Amino acid sequence: MKDGVNGVALAVFVFFFLAVTVMGFMASKWRRAENANNLDEWGLGGRSFGTWVTWFLLGGDLYTAYTFVAVPAAIYAGGAAGFFAVPYTILCYPLVFTFLPRLWSVSHKHGYVTSSDFVRGRFGSRGLSLALALTGILATMPYIALQLVGIQAVLDVLGVGGGEGTNWFVKDLPLLIAFGVLAAYTYSSGLRAPAMIAFVKDALVYIVIIVAIIYIPIRLGGFDDIFAKAGHAFAAENPATGKPRGALVTGPQAQWSYATLALGSAMALFLYPHSVTAVLSSKGRNVIRRNTTILPLYSLMLGLLAMLGFMALAAGVKVKNGQLAIPQLFEDMFPDWFTGVAFAAIGIGALVPAAIMSIAAANLFTRNIYKDFLKPDASPEHEAKVSKLASLLVKVGALVFVLTMDKTVAINFQLLGGIWILQTVPALVGGLFTRWFHRWALLAGWAAGMGYGTWRAYATPSATQSHFGNTNLIPLIGEKGYIGLTAFALNVIVVIVATVILKAVKAPDGIDRTKPSDYTADAGDPGVAAELPPATAGAPGGH
């Protein structure tokens, strides 16, 4: 690591950071409706984004600082197991192709802003809607925290703040700066800000990846040398465990863990509130279908990015915090000016999804907690105001995760969120295809999955942390598997058994406000407006 501040790289980084911040504020005027004071406009961008805007928005939403920092860092720290992120981003698109268009149709028909809006309309249960809203907010906070960790890693390597021995304020100053920037332009522009910035973010990311995957191997003597040196590094003993540090290829004992982690993560990806928000912001059902066919292009990018973990080992990068490995590799390998470009790609790659995530979580709070339980007669303008304020509080919650949890394996932030968000599958995805499940059974299953998953995650330590340390692995039938998938299986069993019992005793069921034709409706169909009038994008169940 170079001594002091890398002035050239910092100047380039600050230039791009300021440029996208200005874009974030200017976005408030982009395709703005006459009446912008409602959740359809602030929280969903007017539901008007076409194929390309949606593609960049979803790409900026789903491929984040987690992609650029946490995945290669996991590979740097432990080897091939970190590649689980590549198959899971491939698996998820066939899965979501089956249900996202249905969610878009019914949401557009009834003016639903969140997934919890749909669940309330489908099952007639405010309690179940509240449970999903709280889960979505909780699962989003560690994901936003992961983005802030990415920014902090870049600034640490640049020599700004951070470092051991500094006081807490200086050490965490990058997080406070990120919080301030995010809070300001998200509050001002809503979803339009990350949608506009996503174009710049993706352009920078692709430029950096293409250069890195060509330039760094040339400097390191080719991929043969990279794999050989990485294999030698993994064979060395880990002092904390007394076992090899990792492996270039997952062994038989790790295959079940790898498979369940990939499958569970694939099931979870599009259930997050930020994913749903990006989907509902599009203007047509076919926009969603087209995006699920072209978004796998990002998976190719992710595979190349993951290789950077091996390159960091081959280059002899030595860092105590694995999250610094890739930023340090860039600083060691690239000229200073291009290091600044690469760091800007990581920083902006954190800002875009963090903005969308905070908006999505704020929408959940406003529609499914504040309006449902505190102020049912809230006007669209009042909803928008509350959501803006809630987006600030969500970022504070994310800061709590960052400041209180171990950041050396930041990928655990994402895996922890996955455990929680998977427990919404029976109500959300199941509800899109069947009304057989009883609302009370869904609530009982959710409680069982959340309780078990949280307990197992909390009780599973790592080498650096006594709780919430190693959320991807637990004992399971003599093997190891993803806690989230095990909790989901328990959830489903409880839902099915409880539904049979509740139907047998004729327990009262809720009113379904949807009908079969709602799930295939498209913009322009009879009864479905091409664009929702802002004033009517309010209460679930009406349109």
**Residue ranges of the domains in the chain?**
7-424+436-536
CATH T-level topology, domain 7-424+436-536: Sodium/glucose cotransporter (1.20.1730)
Q: What is the pLDDT of residue 474?
A: 34
Buried-state track 184-204, b at ≥16 Cβ within 10 A, e below 16: ebbbbbbbbbbbbbbbbbbeb
pTM: 0.82
> Rg of the chain's alpha carbons, rounded to an integer?
23
Name which of 310, 350, 422 is nearest 194 in CA terms: 350
| pLDDT tens column, 204-227 | 888 888 898 899 999 988 888 888
Side chain identity at residue 456, one-letter code: R
H or E stretch including 480?
A: strand 479-481
Give the three-class secondary structure for 283: coil
Q: What is the bridge-based pairing of β-strands 479-481 and 474-476?
A: antiparallel
User: Are the C-beta atoms of residues 43 and 363 closer than 8 Å to each other?
Assistant: yes
Q: Which residues of the chain have pLDDT under 70?
A: 1-4, 27-52, 55-57, 59-63, 65-66, 161-175, 178-179, 182, 189, 238-242, 245, 251, 401-413, 460-480, 523-543
Residue 391 φ then ψ, to 5°: -65, -30
| pLDDT tens column, 352-377 | 788 788 888 888 888 888 888 888 88
Joined tokens for residue 284: 């047509």
